[in-house]
Amino acid sequence: MDAEQVVLLLTAALAAGWVDAVVGGGGLIQLPALLVAMPGQPVAAALATNKLGSIAGTTSAAVAYLRKAKPDTGVAVPAAGLAVACAAGGALCAAAISSDVLKPVIMIVLLAVAAIVVLKPDLGRTPRLVLRTRRRVAAAVLIPGVLIAFYDGLVGPGTGTFLVIAFTGLLGMDFVNASATSKIINAGTNLGALAVFAVQGHVLWAVGLAMAACNAVGAQLGARTAINRGAGFVRAVLLCVVAALVAKLAWEQFG
């Protein structure tokens, strides 16, 4: 790669780390950059290298949030354990399922997420007191740890956003603490998918490690921004990310 391609990838990784730390969706930036900078590489290599960069960012963000926010570790830790295995299963199934089938479904889900956030302006702005029943806690472990994690290994876009919405809806968290909790699980999903891609030999380690360093820096900045600016700022970024994800998927499907 020439210097321009390297700068593109490192800048994209920095920006992706920031977005991912705030509300998820960093793959929207990082994965297209990899596809543009390495047109001769198979798509699997871009997906695998993207996971290497992302795991550094999500882990870095999780550490930053642990210091200043209040992630629900009682939910996040068991969910993250499940997420490693389920994301690995999703990565193993990725080659067998057509993305053309999944993209319309993902767009509908993302539009539903946007509708919920717009129609419920108080969602995630402040913590809501909800009855913390066993059923709610179990759902807050299983939905992120199994369903969303499998989706991340299988496809990926919007995983962090889905995690944030899951925790605000199920446990009444504000957006900042939901983001903090989601980063622990997202680190698990990235680890599971990356392990499968690494065994299959798809990871471009030199490029991926350089991007991982930039992604981690961006994640530190993003976590601090989210903590300092509050839930209202995170809500605005979430809506922007959802709109961008829907636009990207619609272009790939119909453009």
Q: What is the pLDDT along the chain (255 residues), one digit of tens a residue?
A: 788 889 989 999 999 999 988 888 787 788 888 888 888 888 778 888 999 999 999 999 999 998 888 889 999 999 999 999 999 999 888 766 665 666 676 677 777 777 777 777 776 677 787 778 899 999 999 999 999 999 888 877 678 888 998 999 899 998 889 999 999 999 999 999 999 999 999 899 999 999 999 999 999 999 999 989 987 888 888 788 778 877 877 787 776
Task: Tell me if 161 sits within 8 A of 239, measured CB to CB.
Answer: no
d(CA 47, CA 199): 14
d(CA 103, CA 111): 12
Domain ranges for the chain: 3-254
Question: Helix 3-22 crosses helix 175-199 at what angle (to 10 degrees)?
Answer: 130
Q: What is the pTM of this model?
A: 0.84
Q: How far, rounded to the nearest angstrom, does the alpha carbon of residue 49 sit from its chain's CA centroid?
A: 15
Phi, psi torsion values for 217, nearest 5 degrees:
-65, -45
